[in-house]
Structure 1
Amino acid sequence: MRLTHTRAVFLMVAVTMMWSIAGVITRHLENARSFEITFWRSFFTVVSLLVILPLFQGREVFGKIRRGGRALWVSGVCWSVMFTAFMVALTLTSVANVLVTMAIGPFLTALVARIFIGHRIPARTWTAIVVAGLGIAYMYGAQIEGGQLAGTLVALLVPMAGAVNWTVTQRSHAQGEDVDLVPAVMVGAVISSLATLPLALPFQATAHDIGWLAVLGLVQLAIPCSLAVMCARVLKAPEISLLALLEVIFGILLAWIGANEAPGHTVLLGGALVIGALVANEIAGWRGAAAP
Protein backbone atom coordinates (compact mmCIF):
# COMPACT_ATOMS: atom_id res chain seq x y z
CA MET A 1 0.00 0.00 0.00
CA ARG A 2 1.71 3.18 -1.24
CA LEU A 3 0.84 6.37 0.64
CA THR A 4 1.14 9.94 -0.53
CA HIS A 5 1.86 12.57 2.09
CA THR A 6 -1.76 13.78 2.08
CA ARG A 7 -3.16 10.26 2.41
CA ALA A 8 -0.73 9.53 5.24
CA VAL A 9 -1.94 12.63 7.13
CA PHE A 10 -5.60 11.63 6.79
CA LEU A 11 -4.78 8.04 7.69
CA MET A 12 -2.92 9.21 10.82
CA VAL A 13 -5.96 11.27 11.83
CA ALA A 14 -8.08 8.12 11.45
CA VAL A 15 -5.53 6.22 13.56
CA THR A 16 -5.85 8.75 16.40
CA MET A 17 -9.64 8.48 16.23
CA MET A 18 -9.40 4.71 16.60
CA TRP A 19 -6.95 5.04 19.51
CA SER A 20 -9.29 7.48 21.26
CA ILE A 21 -12.28 5.11 21.64
CA ALA A 22 -10.80 3.18 24.59
CA GLY A 23 -12.02 5.55 27.30
CA VAL A 24 -15.64 5.80 26.24
CA ILE A 25 -15.93 2.04 25.60
CA THR A 26 -14.47 1.29 29.03
CA ARG A 27 -17.20 3.43 30.60
CA HIS A 28 -19.91 1.28 28.98
CA LEU A 29 -18.67 -2.11 30.24
CA GLU A 30 -21.03 -3.94 32.61
CA ASN A 31 -19.00 -6.28 34.83
CA ALA A 32 -15.42 -6.44 33.49
CA ARG A 33 -12.97 -4.56 35.67
CA SER A 34 -9.26 -3.72 35.90
CA PHE A 35 -7.01 -6.63 34.88
CA GLU A 36 -9.82 -8.55 33.20
CA ILE A 37 -10.31 -5.61 30.83
CA THR A 38 -6.60 -5.63 30.05
CA PHE A 39 -6.55 -9.39 29.51
CA TRP A 40 -9.42 -9.47 27.03
CA ARG A 41 -8.17 -6.45 25.06
CA SER A 42 -4.67 -7.90 24.80
CA PHE A 43 -6.04 -11.34 23.93
CA PHE A 44 -8.15 -9.98 21.07
CA THR A 45 -5.17 -7.90 19.91
CA VAL A 46 -3.11 -11.08 19.59
CA VAL A 47 -5.90 -12.84 17.67
CA SER A 48 -6.29 -9.83 15.35
CA LEU A 49 -2.56 -9.49 14.67
CA LEU A 50 -2.26 -13.20 13.89
CA VAL A 51 -4.49 -12.39 10.89
CA ILE A 52 -3.25 -8.87 10.09
CA LEU A 53 0.52 -9.44 10.24
CA PRO A 54 0.67 -12.15 7.53
CA LEU A 55 -1.48 -9.92 5.29
CA PHE A 56 0.89 -6.96 5.76
CA GLN A 57 4.25 -8.75 5.82
CA GLY A 58 3.69 -12.36 4.76
CA ARG A 59 4.32 -15.47 6.81
CA GLU A 60 7.98 -14.58 7.24
CA VAL A 61 6.89 -12.14 9.95
CA PHE A 62 6.76 -15.03 12.42
CA GLY A 63 10.34 -15.90 11.54
CA LYS A 64 11.27 -12.28 12.30
CA ILE A 65 9.84 -12.71 15.78
CA ARG A 66 11.83 -15.89 16.39
CA ARG A 67 15.03 -14.21 15.16
CA GLY A 68 14.19 -10.81 16.62
CA GLY A 69 16.88 -10.77 19.24
CA ARG A 70 16.97 -9.03 22.60
CA ALA A 71 15.86 -5.60 21.32
CA LEU A 72 12.57 -6.93 19.92
CA TRP A 73 11.77 -8.69 23.19
CA VAL A 74 12.63 -5.62 25.26
CA SER A 75 10.34 -3.63 22.97
CA GLY A 76 7.65 -6.27 23.48
CA VAL A 77 7.95 -5.97 27.26
CA CYS A 78 7.62 -2.18 26.94
CA TRP A 79 4.49 -2.59 24.83
CA SER A 80 3.03 -4.99 27.42
CA VAL A 81 3.59 -2.42 30.19
CA MET A 82 1.93 0.25 28.06
CA PHE A 83 -1.09 -1.95 27.27
CA THR A 84 -1.57 -3.01 30.88
CA ALA A 85 -0.99 0.35 32.57
CA PHE A 86 -3.23 2.20 30.11
CA MET A 87 -6.31 0.05 30.71
CA VAL A 88 -5.77 -0.22 34.48
CA ALA A 89 -5.37 3.57 34.69
CA LEU A 90 -8.67 4.08 32.87
CA THR A 91 -10.41 2.11 35.62
CA LEU A 92 -8.83 4.25 38.36
CA THR A 93 -9.15 7.82 37.07
CA SER A 94 -10.76 9.92 34.36
CA VAL A 95 -10.08 9.51 30.66
CA ALA A 96 -8.79 13.08 30.50
CA ASN A 97 -6.25 12.46 33.30
CA VAL A 98 -4.90 9.38 31.53
CA LEU A 99 -4.63 10.99 28.10
CA VAL A 100 -2.99 14.20 29.30
CA THR A 101 -0.47 12.22 31.36
CA MET A 102 0.36 10.10 28.31
CA ALA A 103 0.91 13.27 26.27
CA ILE A 104 4.20 13.96 28.07
CA GLY A 105 5.69 10.93 26.31
CA PRO A 106 7.86 12.92 23.84
CA PHE A 107 9.47 14.83 26.72
CA LEU A 108 10.19 11.69 28.75
CA THR A 109 11.61 10.12 25.60
CA ALA A 110 13.93 13.10 25.10
CA LEU A 111 15.17 12.81 28.70
CA VAL A 112 15.72 9.04 28.58
CA ALA A 113 17.50 9.30 25.22
CA ARG A 114 19.71 12.07 26.62
CA ILE A 115 20.70 9.95 29.64
CA PHE A 116 21.25 6.59 27.94
CA ILE A 117 22.29 7.28 24.33
CA GLY A 118 23.52 10.86 24.55
CA HIS A 119 20.92 12.59 22.36
CA ARG A 120 21.30 16.36 22.61
CA ILE A 121 18.21 18.22 23.85
CA PRO A 122 17.76 21.70 22.30
CA ALA A 123 17.07 24.68 24.55
CA ARG A 124 13.51 24.96 23.16
CA THR A 125 12.80 21.37 24.27
CA TRP A 126 14.19 22.02 27.77
CA THR A 127 11.80 25.01 28.01
CA ALA A 128 8.89 22.87 26.80
CA ILE A 129 9.78 20.15 29.34
CA VAL A 130 9.65 22.69 32.18
CA VAL A 131 6.28 24.09 31.01
CA ALA A 132 4.78 20.61 30.56
CA GLY A 133 6.17 19.60 33.96
CA LEU A 134 4.39 22.53 35.58
CA GLY A 135 1.15 21.42 33.91
CA ILE A 136 1.48 17.85 35.15
CA ALA A 137 2.51 19.03 38.64
CA TYR A 138 -0.61 21.22 38.79
CA MET A 139 -2.79 18.26 37.83
CA TYR A 140 -1.11 15.97 40.35
CA GLY A 141 -1.36 18.51 43.16
CA ALA A 142 -5.11 18.80 42.66
CA GLN A 143 -5.54 15.01 42.52
CA ILE A 144 -3.86 14.36 45.88
CA GLU A 145 -6.97 15.85 47.45
CA GLY A 146 -9.35 14.34 44.88
CA GLY A 147 -8.30 10.73 45.41
CA GLN A 148 -7.40 10.09 41.75
CA LEU A 149 -3.62 10.30 42.06
CA ALA A 150 -3.13 6.51 41.95
CA GLY A 151 -4.72 6.26 38.51
CA THR A 152 -2.63 9.09 37.13
CA LEU A 153 0.57 7.55 38.53
CA VAL A 154 -0.32 4.25 36.82
CA ALA A 155 -0.94 6.20 33.60
CA LEU A 156 2.57 7.66 33.93
CA LEU A 157 3.95 4.16 33.32
CA VAL A 158 2.70 4.40 29.71
CA PRO A 159 4.94 7.26 28.54
CA MET A 160 7.81 5.92 30.68
CA ALA A 161 7.63 2.54 28.94
CA GLY A 162 7.23 4.31 25.60
CA ALA A 163 10.39 6.33 26.25
CA VAL A 164 12.38 3.17 27.01
CA ASN A 165 10.89 1.47 23.93
CA TRP A 166 11.90 4.31 21.59
CA THR A 167 15.40 4.56 23.09
CA VAL A 168 16.02 0.82 22.75
CA THR A 169 14.84 0.75 19.12
CA GLN A 170 16.92 3.83 18.24
CA ARG A 171 20.03 2.37 19.85
CA SER A 172 19.49 -0.91 18.02
CA HIS A 173 19.06 0.97 14.74
CA ALA A 174 22.31 2.84 15.34
CA GLN A 175 24.05 -0.53 15.83
CA GLY A 176 22.65 -1.85 12.53
CA GLU A 177 19.82 -3.92 14.05
CA ASP A 178 16.35 -2.72 13.07
CA VAL A 179 13.41 -3.60 15.33
CA ASP A 180 10.12 -4.22 13.51
CA LEU A 181 7.61 -2.50 15.79
CA VAL A 182 4.45 -4.27 14.59
CA PRO A 183 5.64 -7.79 15.54
CA ALA A 184 6.88 -6.21 18.79
CA VAL A 185 3.29 -5.05 19.40
CA MET A 186 2.10 -8.64 19.11
CA VAL A 187 4.84 -9.84 21.47
CA GLY A 188 3.70 -7.16 23.92
CA ALA A 189 0.07 -8.22 23.62
CA VAL A 190 1.03 -11.87 24.28
CA ILE A 191 3.04 -10.91 27.37
CA SER A 192 0.22 -8.65 28.61
CA SER A 193 -2.34 -11.44 28.15
CA LEU A 194 -0.26 -14.01 30.00
CA ALA A 195 0.69 -11.63 32.82
CA THR A 196 -2.85 -10.43 33.49
CA LEU A 197 -4.66 -13.76 33.09
CA PRO A 198 -4.11 -14.93 36.71
CA LEU A 199 -5.15 -11.48 37.98
CA ALA A 200 -8.26 -11.48 35.76
CA LEU A 201 -9.70 -14.69 37.23
CA PRO A 202 -12.46 -15.42 37.96
CA PHE A 203 -13.89 -13.88 34.79
CA GLN A 204 -16.90 -11.63 35.33
CA ALA A 205 -17.28 -10.09 31.87
CA THR A 206 -20.64 -10.47 30.19
CA ALA A 207 -21.10 -11.23 26.49
CA HIS A 208 -21.74 -7.49 26.06
CA ASP A 209 -18.38 -6.71 27.68
CA ILE A 210 -16.46 -9.27 25.64
CA GLY A 211 -17.94 -7.87 22.43
CA TRP A 212 -16.75 -4.35 23.28
CA LEU A 213 -13.33 -5.61 24.39
CA ALA A 214 -12.98 -7.47 21.08
CA VAL A 215 -13.63 -4.13 19.36
CA LEU A 216 -10.84 -2.58 21.45
CA GLY A 217 -8.41 -5.35 20.56
CA LEU A 218 -9.08 -5.07 16.82
CA VAL A 219 -10.16 -1.48 16.14
CA GLN A 220 -8.46 0.43 18.96
CA LEU A 221 -5.12 -1.41 18.99
CA ALA A 222 -4.28 -3.96 16.27
CA ILE A 223 -5.43 -2.01 13.20
CA PRO A 224 -4.28 1.50 14.19
CA CYS A 225 -0.85 0.32 15.43
CA SER A 226 -0.27 -1.41 12.09
CA LEU A 227 -1.42 1.67 10.15
CA ALA A 228 0.65 4.05 12.30
CA VAL A 229 3.83 2.17 11.35
CA MET A 230 2.91 2.65 7.67
CA CYS A 231 2.29 6.38 8.23
CA ALA A 232 5.67 6.74 9.97
CA ARG A 233 7.38 5.70 6.73
CA VAL A 234 5.94 8.78 4.97
CA LEU A 235 5.47 11.43 7.67
CA LYS A 236 8.25 13.21 9.55
CA ALA A 237 8.60 12.71 13.30
CA PRO A 238 7.23 16.20 14.21
CA GLU A 239 4.17 15.55 12.03
CA ILE A 240 3.53 12.23 13.76
CA SER A 241 3.93 13.84 17.19
CA LEU A 242 1.52 16.67 16.41
CA LEU A 243 -1.10 14.45 14.80
CA ALA A 244 -0.87 11.96 17.69
CA LEU A 245 -2.03 14.75 20.04
CA LEU A 246 -5.43 14.47 18.39
CA GLU A 247 -5.93 11.30 20.46
CA VAL A 248 -6.06 13.47 23.59
CA ILE A 249 -8.68 15.79 22.09
CA PHE A 250 -10.78 13.03 20.51
CA GLY A 251 -10.59 10.84 23.62
CA ILE A 252 -11.71 13.60 26.00
CA LEU A 253 -14.54 14.64 23.67
CA LEU A 254 -15.78 11.06 23.21
CA ALA A 255 -15.77 10.43 26.97
CA TRP A 256 -17.59 13.73 27.51
CA ILE A 257 -20.22 13.14 24.82
CA GLY A 258 -20.53 9.35 25.06
CA ALA A 259 -20.15 8.81 28.81
CA ASN A 260 -20.96 12.23 30.31
CA GLU A 261 -17.44 12.44 31.76
CA ALA A 262 -16.67 16.15 31.70
CA PRO A 263 -13.00 17.05 32.29
CA GLY A 264 -12.26 19.08 35.42
CA HIS A 265 -10.76 22.55 35.27
CA THR A 266 -7.45 21.32 36.66
CA VAL A 267 -7.13 18.81 33.81
CA LEU A 268 -8.08 21.45 31.25
CA LEU A 269 -5.52 23.94 32.55
CA GLY A 270 -2.75 21.40 33.13
CA GLY A 271 -3.52 19.73 29.80
CA ALA A 272 -3.39 23.09 28.00
CA LEU A 273 0.13 23.65 29.36
CA VAL A 274 1.27 20.18 28.32
CA ILE A 275 -0.24 20.22 24.84
CA GLY A 276 0.74 23.86 24.24
CA ALA A 277 4.34 23.03 25.11
CA LEU A 278 4.28 20.00 22.80
CA VAL A 279 2.84 21.93 19.87
CA ALA A 280 5.24 24.86 20.28
CA ASN A 281 8.25 22.54 20.58
CA GLU A 282 7.37 20.44 17.54
CA ILE A 283 6.56 23.46 15.35
CA ALA A 284 9.81 25.17 16.35
CA GLY A 285 11.77 22.00 15.60
CA TRP A 286 10.00 21.59 12.27
CA ARG A 287 10.79 25.16 11.20
CA GLY A 288 14.37 24.85 12.40
CA ALA A 289 14.87 21.70 10.35
CA ALA A 290 13.31 23.29 7.25
CA ALA A 291 15.34 26.54 7.46
CA PRO A 292 18.68 25.16 6.13
Structure 2
Amino acid sequence: MTHRRAVFTMIAVTLMWSIAGVVTRQLEAARSFEVTFWRSAFNALALLVLLAVLRGPAALWRSVRRGGRTLWVSGVCWSVMYTAFMVAITLTTVANVLVTMALAPLLTALMARVALGHRLAPRTWWAIVVAAAGIGWMYAQEVSGADPRHLLGTAVAFGVPLASAINWTMIQHSNRAGAPPQDLMPAVLIGAVISAAVTLPLALPFAASVHDLSLLALLGVVQLAIPCLIVVTVARVLSAPEVALLALLEVLFGVLWAWLGAGERPSAAVLGGGTLVLGALVANEMLGLQRRAAPDLLAKDPT
Protein backbone atom coordinates (compact mmCIF):
# COMPACT_ATOMS: atom_id res chain seq x y z
CA MET A 1 0.00 0.00 0.00
CA THR A 2 1.40 3.40 -1.00
CA HIS A 3 1.34 6.36 1.36
CA ARG A 4 -1.31 8.16 -0.70
CA ARG A 5 -3.51 5.08 -0.82
CA ALA A 6 -3.10 4.63 2.93
CA VAL A 7 -4.25 8.22 3.50
CA PHE A 8 -7.38 7.75 1.40
CA THR A 9 -8.03 4.40 3.07
CA MET A 10 -7.80 6.03 6.50
CA ILE A 11 -10.30 8.68 5.39
CA ALA A 12 -12.65 5.87 4.33
CA VAL A 13 -12.19 4.30 7.78
CA THR A 14 -13.22 7.55 9.49
CA LEU A 15 -16.28 7.72 7.25
CA MET A 16 -17.30 4.24 8.38
CA TRP A 17 -16.65 5.10 12.03
CA SER A 18 -18.65 8.32 11.79
CA ILE A 19 -22.02 6.78 10.87
CA ALA A 20 -22.76 5.50 14.39
CA GLY A 21 -24.58 8.59 15.61
CA VAL A 22 -26.86 9.19 12.64
CA VAL A 23 -27.70 5.49 12.28
CA THR A 24 -28.55 5.22 15.98
CA ARG A 25 -30.98 8.11 15.63
CA GLN A 26 -32.96 6.06 13.06
CA LEU A 27 -33.77 3.25 15.53
CA GLU A 28 -37.46 2.64 16.23
CA ALA A 29 -37.65 0.74 19.51
CA ALA A 30 -34.20 -0.40 20.70
CA ARG A 31 -32.78 1.74 23.50
CA SER A 32 -29.65 2.09 25.64
CA PHE A 33 -28.19 -1.27 26.67
CA GLU A 34 -30.10 -3.21 24.03
CA VAL A 35 -28.49 -1.00 21.36
CA THR A 36 -25.08 -1.70 22.89
CA PHE A 37 -25.71 -5.44 23.13
CA TRP A 38 -26.78 -5.94 19.52
CA ARG A 39 -24.01 -3.74 18.12
CA SER A 40 -21.35 -5.59 20.12
CA ALA A 41 -22.86 -8.99 19.30
CA PHE A 42 -22.88 -8.31 15.55
CA ASN A 43 -19.37 -6.89 15.84
CA ALA A 44 -18.14 -10.01 17.64
CA LEU A 45 -19.75 -12.32 15.09
CA ALA A 46 -18.28 -10.39 12.15
CA LEU A 47 -14.79 -10.28 13.71
CA LEU A 48 -14.93 -13.98 14.53
CA VAL A 49 -15.71 -14.82 10.90
CA LEU A 50 -13.24 -12.35 9.38
CA LEU A 51 -10.34 -13.27 11.66
CA ALA A 52 -11.01 -16.98 11.21
CA VAL A 53 -10.91 -16.52 7.43
CA LEU A 54 -7.78 -14.36 7.51
CA ARG A 55 -5.80 -16.43 10.02
CA GLY A 56 -7.54 -19.75 10.32
CA PRO A 57 -9.63 -20.91 13.29
CA ALA A 58 -6.74 -22.80 14.91
CA ALA A 59 -4.34 -19.83 14.74
CA LEU A 60 -7.01 -17.49 16.11
CA TRP A 61 -7.73 -19.80 19.03
CA ARG A 62 -4.00 -20.11 19.81
CA SER A 63 -3.67 -16.31 19.84
CA VAL A 64 -6.50 -16.00 22.34
CA ARG A 65 -5.37 -18.92 24.52
CA ARG A 66 -1.73 -17.78 24.70
CA GLY A 67 -2.38 -14.05 24.73
CA GLY A 68 -1.70 -13.55 28.42
CA ARG A 69 -2.57 -10.61 30.63
CA THR A 70 -1.86 -7.88 28.08
CA LEU A 71 -4.29 -9.34 25.56
CA TRP A 72 -7.10 -9.73 28.09
CA VAL A 73 -6.65 -6.33 29.72
CA SER A 74 -6.66 -4.82 26.25
CA GLY A 75 -9.86 -6.73 25.55
CA VAL A 76 -11.47 -5.27 28.68
CA CYS A 77 -10.45 -1.77 27.55
CA TRP A 78 -12.04 -2.38 24.15
CA SER A 79 -15.22 -3.57 25.86
CA VAL A 80 -15.38 -0.36 27.91
CA MET A 81 -14.94 1.70 24.74
CA TYR A 82 -17.68 -0.20 22.88
CA THR A 83 -20.12 -0.01 25.79
CA ALA A 84 -19.49 3.57 26.93
CA PHE A 85 -19.74 4.92 23.39
CA MET A 86 -23.15 3.46 22.61
CA VAL A 87 -24.62 4.20 26.04
CA ALA A 88 -23.39 7.81 25.76
CA ILE A 89 -24.90 8.16 22.28
CA THR A 90 -28.31 7.23 23.71
CA LEU A 91 -28.00 9.84 26.48
CA THR A 92 -26.56 12.93 24.79
CA THR A 93 -25.82 14.46 21.41
CA VAL A 94 -23.47 12.95 18.86
CA ALA A 95 -21.32 16.10 18.94
CA ASN A 96 -20.81 15.86 22.72
CA VAL A 97 -19.73 12.23 22.47
CA LEU A 98 -17.38 12.65 19.49
CA VAL A 99 -15.62 15.75 20.82
CA THR A 100 -15.11 14.02 24.18
CA MET A 101 -13.68 10.97 22.39
CA ALA A 102 -11.24 13.22 20.54
CA LEU A 103 -9.36 13.71 23.81
CA ALA A 104 -7.89 10.20 23.52
CA PRO A 105 -4.46 11.21 22.04
CA LEU A 106 -3.87 13.84 24.73
CA LEU A 107 -5.03 11.57 27.55
CA THR A 108 -2.73 8.86 26.23
CA ALA A 109 0.22 11.25 26.16
CA LEU A 110 -0.54 12.42 29.70
CA MET A 111 -0.96 8.88 31.03
CA ALA A 112 2.28 7.78 29.37
CA ARG A 113 4.00 10.69 31.13
CA VAL A 114 2.69 9.59 34.53
CA ALA A 115 2.92 5.81 34.15
CA LEU A 116 5.93 5.38 31.86
CA GLY A 117 7.88 8.56 32.43
CA HIS A 118 7.59 9.68 28.81
CA ARG A 119 8.68 13.27 28.35
CA LEU A 120 6.00 15.51 26.86
CA ALA A 121 6.96 18.27 24.44
CA PRO A 122 5.86 21.81 25.38
CA ARG A 123 3.47 21.77 22.42
CA THR A 124 1.67 18.77 23.93
CA TRP A 125 1.35 20.45 27.33
CA TRP A 126 -0.15 23.53 25.63
CA ALA A 127 -2.50 21.29 23.64
CA ILE A 128 -3.68 19.64 26.86
CA VAL A 129 -4.37 23.03 28.45
CA VAL A 130 -6.27 24.36 25.42
CA ALA A 131 -8.26 21.14 24.99
CA ALA A 132 -9.17 21.17 28.70
CA ALA A 133 -10.44 24.73 28.27
CA GLY A 134 -12.54 23.61 25.31
CA ILE A 135 -14.05 20.72 27.25
CA GLY A 136 -14.75 23.05 30.17
CA TRP A 137 -16.55 25.43 27.80
CA MET A 138 -18.65 22.58 26.40
CA TYR A 139 -19.58 21.09 29.75
CA ALA A 140 -20.29 24.40 31.50
CA GLN A 141 -23.61 24.55 29.68
CA GLU A 142 -24.53 21.04 30.83
CA VAL A 143 -23.62 21.76 34.46
CA SER A 144 -25.43 25.09 34.54
CA GLY A 145 -28.92 23.67 34.30
CA ALA A 146 -29.39 21.87 31.01
CA ASP A 147 -30.91 18.38 30.76
CA PRO A 148 -29.02 16.21 33.31
CA ARG A 149 -29.07 13.36 30.78
CA HIS A 150 -26.60 15.31 28.66
CA LEU A 151 -24.25 15.70 31.62
CA LEU A 152 -24.49 11.98 32.34
CA GLY A 153 -23.96 11.17 28.67
CA THR A 154 -20.82 13.29 28.40
CA ALA A 155 -19.50 11.73 31.62
CA VAL A 156 -20.09 8.23 30.22
CA ALA A 157 -18.47 9.26 26.93
CA PHE A 158 -15.31 10.21 28.84
CA GLY A 159 -14.87 6.49 29.55
CA VAL A 160 -13.98 5.98 25.86
CA PRO A 161 -10.79 8.12 25.72
CA LEU A 162 -9.88 7.04 29.25
CA ALA A 163 -10.05 3.33 28.36
CA SER A 164 -8.22 4.04 25.11
CA ALA A 165 -5.41 5.81 26.99
CA ILE A 166 -5.07 2.90 29.44
CA ASN A 167 -5.04 0.44 26.55
CA TRP A 168 -2.29 2.11 24.53
CA THR A 169 -0.19 2.96 27.59
CA MET A 170 -0.30 -0.67 28.70
CA ILE A 171 0.69 -1.83 25.21
CA GLN A 172 3.63 0.62 25.19
CA HIS A 173 4.73 -0.66 28.60
CA SER A 174 4.50 -4.26 27.39
CA ASN A 175 6.61 -3.52 24.32
CA ARG A 176 9.15 -1.57 26.35
CA ALA A 177 9.64 -4.54 28.68
CA GLY A 178 11.67 -6.23 25.93
CA ALA A 179 9.12 -8.82 24.83
CA PRO A 180 8.51 -9.29 21.09
CA PRO A 181 5.54 -7.31 19.69
CA GLN A 182 2.31 -9.11 20.52
CA ASP A 183 -0.59 -9.69 18.17
CA LEU A 184 -3.41 -7.82 19.89
CA MET A 185 -6.02 -7.93 17.14
CA PRO A 186 -7.88 -10.73 18.99
CA ALA A 187 -8.33 -8.20 21.83
CA VAL A 188 -10.80 -6.36 19.63
CA LEU A 189 -12.83 -9.56 19.37
CA ILE A 190 -12.54 -10.23 23.10
CA GLY A 191 -13.77 -6.71 23.81
CA ALA A 192 -16.83 -7.20 21.63
CA VAL A 193 -17.67 -10.51 23.34
CA ILE A 194 -17.28 -9.01 26.84
CA SER A 195 -19.40 -5.98 25.92
CA ALA A 196 -22.17 -8.19 24.55
CA ALA A 197 -22.06 -10.51 27.56
CA VAL A 198 -22.14 -7.69 30.15
CA THR A 199 -24.97 -5.78 28.49
CA LEU A 200 -27.16 -8.81 27.69
CA PRO A 201 -28.91 -8.99 31.10
CA LEU A 202 -29.48 -5.22 31.02
CA ALA A 203 -30.88 -5.39 27.47
CA LEU A 204 -33.73 -7.75 28.35
CA PRO A 205 -36.53 -7.84 27.43
CA PHE A 206 -35.65 -7.17 23.80
CA ALA A 207 -37.70 -4.52 22.01
CA ALA A 208 -35.72 -4.11 18.77
CA SER A 209 -37.69 -4.40 15.54
CA VAL A 210 -36.39 -6.05 12.37
CA HIS A 211 -35.60 -2.53 11.12
CA ASP A 212 -33.55 -1.88 14.27
CA LEU A 213 -31.67 -5.16 13.99
CA SER A 214 -30.69 -4.42 10.40
CA LEU A 215 -29.29 -1.02 11.42
CA LEU A 216 -27.47 -2.47 14.43
CA ALA A 217 -25.98 -5.19 12.22
CA LEU A 218 -24.77 -2.41 9.92
CA LEU A 219 -23.08 -0.73 12.88
CA GLY A 220 -21.52 -3.94 14.16
CA VAL A 221 -20.09 -4.98 10.79
CA VAL A 222 -19.51 -1.83 8.72
CA GLN A 223 -18.97 0.75 11.46
CA LEU A 224 -16.79 -1.44 13.71
CA ALA A 225 -15.51 -4.82 12.50
CA ILE A 226 -14.35 -3.90 8.98
CA PRO A 227 -12.66 -0.56 9.81
CA CYS A 228 -10.94 -2.13 12.85
CA LEU A 229 -9.26 -4.64 10.56
CA ILE A 230 -8.46 -2.06 7.88
CA VAL A 231 -6.84 0.40 10.28
CA VAL A 232 -4.30 -2.25 11.35
CA THR A 233 -3.04 -2.40 7.77
CA VAL A 234 -3.05 1.40 7.40
CA ALA A 235 -1.04 1.80 10.62
CA ARG A 236 1.81 -0.14 9.02
CA VAL A 237 2.21 2.58 6.39
CA LEU A 238 1.25 5.81 8.18
CA SER A 239 2.99 7.18 11.24
CA ALA A 240 1.16 7.38 14.56
CA PRO A 241 0.70 11.19 14.34
CA GLU A 242 -0.71 10.84 10.82
CA VAL A 243 -3.21 8.22 11.96
CA ALA A 244 -4.20 10.35 14.97
CA LEU A 245 -4.63 13.44 12.81
CA LEU A 246 -6.72 11.70 10.15
CA ALA A 247 -8.82 9.99 12.84
CA LEU A 248 -10.10 13.43 13.89
CA LEU A 249 -12.13 13.45 10.68
CA GLU A 250 -14.52 11.10 12.47
CA VAL A 251 -15.58 14.00 14.68
CA LEU A 252 -16.26 16.30 11.73
CA PHE A 253 -18.03 13.65 9.66
CA GLY A 254 -20.05 12.36 12.62
CA VAL A 255 -21.32 15.80 13.66
CA LEU A 256 -22.16 16.60 10.03
CA TRP A 257 -24.12 13.34 9.49
CA ALA A 258 -26.06 13.87 12.74
CA TRP A 259 -26.85 17.44 11.71
CA LEU A 260 -27.97 16.57 8.19
CA GLY A 261 -29.52 13.15 8.87
CA ALA A 262 -31.02 13.56 12.34
CA GLY A 263 -31.46 17.31 12.78
CA GLU A 264 -28.97 17.51 15.69
CA ARG A 265 -27.69 21.05 15.34
CA PRO A 266 -24.64 21.52 17.61
CA SER A 267 -25.02 24.18 20.29
CA ALA A 268 -22.78 27.26 20.39
CA ALA A 269 -20.94 25.81 23.40
CA VAL A 270 -20.24 22.55 21.57
CA LEU A 271 -19.08 24.38 18.44
CA GLY A 272 -16.83 26.73 20.39
CA GLY A 273 -15.42 24.15 22.78
CA GLY A 274 -15.10 21.56 20.04
CA THR A 275 -13.16 24.00 17.89
CA LEU A 276 -10.68 24.53 20.74
CA VAL A 277 -10.28 20.78 21.28
CA LEU A 278 -9.84 19.93 17.60
CA GLY A 279 -7.60 22.95 17.01
CA ALA A 280 -5.31 21.91 19.87
CA LEU A 281 -5.14 18.34 18.57
CA VAL A 282 -4.47 19.37 14.97
CA ALA A 283 -1.75 21.86 16.00
CA ASN A 284 -0.08 19.27 18.23
CA GLU A 285 -0.05 16.55 15.58
CA MET A 286 1.02 18.89 12.76
CA LEU A 287 3.97 20.22 14.80
CA GLY A 288 4.87 16.63 15.66
CA LEU A 289 4.89 15.69 11.99
CA GLN A 290 7.12 18.66 11.17
CA ARG A 291 9.61 17.69 13.89
CA ARG A 292 9.78 14.15 12.55
CA ALA A 293 10.13 15.31 8.95
CA ALA A 294 13.03 17.69 9.67
CA PRO A 295 15.67 14.97 10.41
CA ASP A 296 14.66 13.11 7.25
CA LEU A 297 15.14 16.24 5.13
CA LEU A 298 18.55 16.87 6.69
CA ALA A 299 19.59 13.29 6.05
CA LYS A 300 18.63 13.58 2.39
CA ASP A 301 20.16 17.03 1.87
CA PRO A 302 22.63 17.96 4.63
CA THR A 303 23.46 21.26 2.85
Normalised by the length of structure 1, the TM-score is 0.98
Moved over 3 A (4+): none
Amino acid at match of 2:236: R
Q: How does 1:204-283 map to 2 (within 5 A)?
A: 204-283=207-286
Q: Distance in 1 between matches of 2:174 and 2:51?
A: 22
Letter in 2 for 1:131: V
Q: Show CA shifts across 1:85-127 (max 9, x none).
A: 0000000000000000000111100111111111111111000
Note the C-alpha offset of 1:182. 2.1
| CA shift for structure 1 position 65 | 1.0
| Match for residue 192 of structure 1 among 192, 195, 208 | 195
Alignment check: 8 A CA contact 1:255 1:261 kept: yes
| Aligned-pair identity (%) | 62
CA distance in 1, matches of 2:40, 2:245: 27
Q: Which amino acid aligns with 1:56?
A: L
Is the Cα–Cα contact under 8 Å of residues 181 and 229 in structure 1 kept in the other structure? Answer: no
Per the alignment, in what secondary structure is the counterpart of residue 221 of structure 1? Answer: helix
* Mapped partners of 2:190, 2:290: distance in 1: 37
Bigger shift: 24-33 or 144-153? 144-153
Query: Secondary structure at 1:291's aligned position in 2?
Result: helix
1:113-128 aligned within 5 A: 113-128=112-127
1:42 aligned residue: 40
Who is 1:146 aligned against? 146
**Once the two structures are superposed, what CA deviation does each residue of 1:125-160 show, in whole Å capped at 9, x if it has no partner?**
000000000000111111112121110000000000
**Separation in 1 of the partners of 2:221 and 2:162?**
24
More deviation, 170-179/23-32: 170-179
> What's 1:56 paired with?
54
List alignment gaps of at least 5 residues for structure 2.
Answer: 296-303
Instruction: Quote the Cα distance in structure 2 between the aligned partners of 1:61 and 1:11.
Output: 25
Identify the residue that residue 23 of structure 2 maps to in structure 1. 25
Count of aligned pairs = 290
Q: How does 1:61-72 map to 2 (within 5 A)?
A: 61-72=60-71
The alignment's C-alpha RMSD in Å is 0.9
- Unpaired segments of 5 or more residues in structure 1? none
Q: 1:13 offset after TM fit, Å? A: 0.5
3-state SS, counterpart of residue 197 of structure 2: helix
Q: Is the 8 A contact 1:169 1:178 kept in 2?
A: no
Cα deviation for residue 267 of structure 1 reads 0.5
3-state SS, counterpart of residue 146 of structure 1: coil
CA-to-aligned-CA distance 1:151-178 (integer Å, 9 cap, x gap):
0000000000000000111111112143
Per-residue deviation at 1:57?
2.8
The match for 2:301 is: none
